[in-house]
Structure 1
């Protein structure tokens, strides 16, 4: 472990994210997604109080409900990609009809988050039902088919070139933030042959190849091993909270690998200690871009960001709470929000489909005193 020497100069708080010195705003410069070394500055002005920004690097906001996905109208279409880099792709699916083919991703693990809708996944490992709030982890190379059972569906999909894992628990033990026993894996359920031709579409290097069978490729009668499709619902996650201090993102980490970290933010009581700052400090998460999808409620730092909205905060530029959100946090007992945060090591790029639903003035919203 690298040696970490801590310095302290000038006017500071004895405890980070608590008792900000009067007339200051706390500002974190953090490495490795809040897991690494850090420095905290105490500034006289909000670091988000810029008058204007010239250039592409700025906080961004998108309304995902306005995205018209191809698979909502064409059952053969793939999910619509909104953001991407060399390691990950983030897409949404609003599929109304069952996939008329089976699919195998030879490029990436997939993590599906169910925002709306119900149905089932037919996989090599068996069948898994889904409902809102489910995470479905699909390992690279798994054959599957998505079969929605409702007309209105909305699924957030992360593709990662590295294996998606549950992070180590450390001193928290086996039961926080969720008991590993709540994970659901499918029972083998071979689908009966129906005499029809079945198509399997395989993606490799971004290209699609179709393989055809005169039997259903979901014909597994048993399986064993340490690799599996599995499901976790956010209702089974028990947020790590403190009445003394706001818990930073690593305390909410649900999935992790070398290129991406996924956090789940859920309703919880606010920190009630008198000197506690109840919202996140201003910060630059310098080694990660921060993508956040609002599943429900409103954002604790930017209360005008509500369900269906996506924010993207690039690592080198500040973000943090609105002034009004700081004041609101002192008047409530709970934060009622549900959000999926995807932090990526490499910068995320927006596709034209995302840019069409962007709020171009979002980066000025701190200036308005919200």
Structure 2
């Protein structure tokens, strides 16, 4: 079968991938710069072809609680938003994590704090990788750096979400969401039947016959001893995820003397920056975290032994740099360079920062 190659925005790729990979329902609310996800789904009208539910809720809070309900039935459900909208969803995300339900959240980041700007940002790193809401929980966080990965990560996020019964977050930014590239869309798959959903998710609240005890989905437990055991179980699960699901990409690290750590759109900028740096004889490589949680700490620590210095490049005030510093324990200098307010740095700015922060 010929590949279905099309030119589209990252946000549009998310929507097309959701329909093609058999997602059962999307509940969302418009906010720039991710509104094209909902708009594209409305144009595609998948409820007429596959039966997929697409609903614009009355608010972000309503949307995430609809996701909570849908996920409790074992269905593939998702939502999308941008930074302040995801902040509003945090209570519901914590409930979903506490109830151990699979769901996918897409965050196309914009600048803040507050309403901020509609321009791109990566300042939701803390909100995404440190739990965001209340309680000791974790999200599986995937950071795409291309339109192709925006499409591919929908399927991967659901795969990981169901494998570990844990919400997964696709953490993009306004650059990747709005840029247009060629993308190979996934093949069309059918949604699972109710019987297939029950077989895949025996834990789900799926309307079992009265002859059997129904499954109860909740994150509430009034007995502190039982609640502690639940938390111990969750921490063991997170440990397993951190050991098995780390993903990253290395670029030109074989002979590198300096390392740039960057994700999302900044990884693309850094890739051009290392070309410029190598033209000047500066040997630089890139470590691109694909999973921001679990974070590739061990790989960064391994690479640090061969480096004279490490620079993180971020569209924020310096957030991921904290995790990079925690990963390095051999005295190698770790510095940060970034822009804020929706300003995207040019590759030559990255090269200048590398020289000034690590080579003087």
TM (norm. structure 1) is 0.25
Which has the bigger relative contact order, CA under 8 A and spacing at least 6? 1
Point out the structure with the larger strand share. Answer: 1
Q: Which one has a bigger Cα radius of gyration?
A: 1
